[in-house]
Structure 1
């Protein structure tokens, strides 16, 4: 039986600004390729080849890169939201592009290491109307909780609570019977978590939970983005796009001095140059950057065409495209440097927004 995949990628990615000023969050380089590439290739690997992207912000970036999907081994179509419709509204908006009776829906900023074949088989075996992929977290207070009974039936959708009743949370992956998608109201914003799923429970629909112990991470914040990218490089997170995991990933044309240290799952983008004595740990450096001798970069994202001068220190930072970090500058504590900003040599900065 055929399965369709819907990936919701319409968000603005505000938590990852300034990087998302020039590209949507799912298209930011992650372990050497746009983040969404990892999911598309995993779908192909699982035999799911009809993929629909629910786009909005910078929709043309997805279309230009993926085209019809053929070079990735899938049949891909983009459906554009003209206004923000929320998660449920975004699913309803792509309904006309669906073909199969089983539809997987993904939040486009989550990395989920679940066995997709087993997830689909579980959904069909129980004959559920909707199956939610669930994961456990150490501290569920920041998430909506999803308690289930002994048979895996979802009992409730609970908003963030200081005293969670379960450590099970929504992992951002759902399996729908196709007919259920047509019951979502069209043409207006709908939250699948706050409206669609609670409404299905009230109506007596069979909503199941599927608990995964595989990898899971929301890539929405800079800290999660750099950790997730490093996890992909090191093979902690699964992806066919990273065939040889290791401590570092050098993209074509990257030039790294043999006296530089690149480790912790760092990625060095295409045509980027790294000088002698540079120390780059657990970071993502994009294309055409220049990292000078003695620069230190830890757990940071460095945008396209950025120049980092000798002796600069970046820790837990986001550096926008075309920025220049002067010699001896220190940036820590979540500092963000906006595109094109030049920080003068010798000034010491700890600001969160430059």
Structure 2
């Protein structure tokens, strides 16, 4: 069995971060979200992995390399434009051959791994297996409608009027039958080859498409609030590990990870918190569910329920919360006079100012 991991797309909902960076590399507890998927694939016994890449392909290649660190072999497959999930299957035909495969969206986060799901697919007589979970906003996802006996009776991609609240989770399993489906369908009104259309084609042509309702935690990390929630979930499970330097004026409570080379002085850390390697925390408060990346400086500041990515500086700022701060960012106080705001803001940003 092989795996096809999708790491293209433009990440429009995470702009401006994704104007210059791959959305799949935004960190959760200081580890890129796509790494969790690759680890889950390897844990399921799959070692041959194709990765679809787009405009951020160079960054993805630099982060993942040949896959050796994960115990997998990686083949990179360029996609000229984000033309749909079924298009990814279409262009991966040579890599996939006639093998069964898992298709894993690289910005999805699924707690509990996929070992049992892969085993069930291998044991079942299915052409495809999809995972479903109830969501509050089904119109933002692919949606499945089930009949009384649980069979799939309809599928739609981001419908205006969803037939159910069952979203399709971004982990799919296919036999080679799907190759006929992706060749047969036509682009949707969005101009994409939709995987829901390919699944519907399989159903219409007598193939068994099995659905599995998951009860564990899943998130599509396409929005800031989803990234922060995933960060919270992962930090809930960390164990205290002090690899850096903490002085005797610092108060540490709860589960806290301080990576090697980090220095913490005169601060309060209330876990769960992760402080990255070679980061310096001075005279600051880090509240629960906060991860600070490598090479950062946090001085005379308060941060809670937030992600600060590598090589950023937060200095002299009180009470930052529910925030996602990118790489190489500098956050400092505004001058007190004149009473104006001086802003340099990227496209599609959200800014909230007091006064």
TM-score norm. by structure 1 comes to 0.81
Corresponding residue for residue 279 of structure 1: 286
Residue from 10, 13, 19 that aligns with 2:8:
10
Closer/same/farther in 2, CA of residues 43 and 200 from structure 1, 3 Å limit = same
Provide the residue aligned with 2:144 in structure 1: 146
Q: Secondary structure at the match of 2:46?
A: coil
- 1:191: how far off? 3.1
Provide the aligned length of Structure 1 versus Structure 2: 328
Correspondence for 1:291: 298
Q: 19, 26, 39: which one pairs with 2:17?
A: 19
Of 6-15 and 295-304, deviating more is 295-304
Residue 109 of structure 1 corresponds to 107
Distance 1:139 1:320 in 2: 27
Question: In structure 2, do the counterparts of structure 1 residues 115 and 286 end up closer, same or farther at CA, with 3 Å as the change threshold?
Answer: closer
The gaps in structure 2 that reach 5 residues or longer are 242-253, 336-342
Query: Helix, strand or coil for the counterpart of 1:174?
Result: strand
The residue that corresponds to 1:219 in the other structure is: 221
- Relative to structure 1, the CA distance from residue 74 to residue 31 in structure 2 (aligned partners, 3 Å threshold; closer, same or farther) is same
User: Secondary structure of the residue that 2:123 maps to in structure 1?
Assistant: helix
- Map Cα deviations across residues 103-140 of structure 1 (whole Å, 9 max, x no partner): 11011111113552321232233311111011123554
2:76 maps to 1:78 = yes
> Structure 1 residues 51, 150: closer, same or farther in 2, change over 3 A?
farther
Paired with 2:293 and 2:344, the residues of 1 have a C-alpha distance of 15
Q: Which runs of 5+ in 1 are unaligned?
A: 236-241, 330-335, 340-348
SS of aligned partner of 1:7 = strand
Deviation at 1:102, TM superposition (A): 1.3
Residues 152 and 103 of structure 1, relative CA distance in 2, 3 Å threshold: farther
Q: Deviations over 1:34-60 (max 9, x none)?
A: 221111112111211111111112111
Per-residue deviation, residues 151-178 of structure 1 (Å, max 9, x unmatched): 5431111455687543322011111112
For residues 243 and 251 of structure 1, what CA distance do their matches in structure 2 show?
Answer: 12
Within-5 A mapping of 1:38-49: 38-49=36-47
> Does 189-198 or 68-77 show the bigger shift?
189-198
Q: So what's the TM-score if we normalise by structure 2?
A: 0.81
1:112-123 equivalence runs, <5 A: 112-123=110-121
Contact 1:5 1:52 in 2 (8 A): yes
**Is the CA contact (8 Å cut-off) linking 1:323 and 1:337 kept in structure 2?**
no
Counterpart position of 2:88 = 90
Q: Distance in 2 between matches of 1:180 and 1:60?
A: 29
**How does 1:220-299 map onto structure 2 within 5 Å?**
220-235=222-237, 247-257=255-265, 259-263=267-271, 265-293=272-300, 295-299=301-305
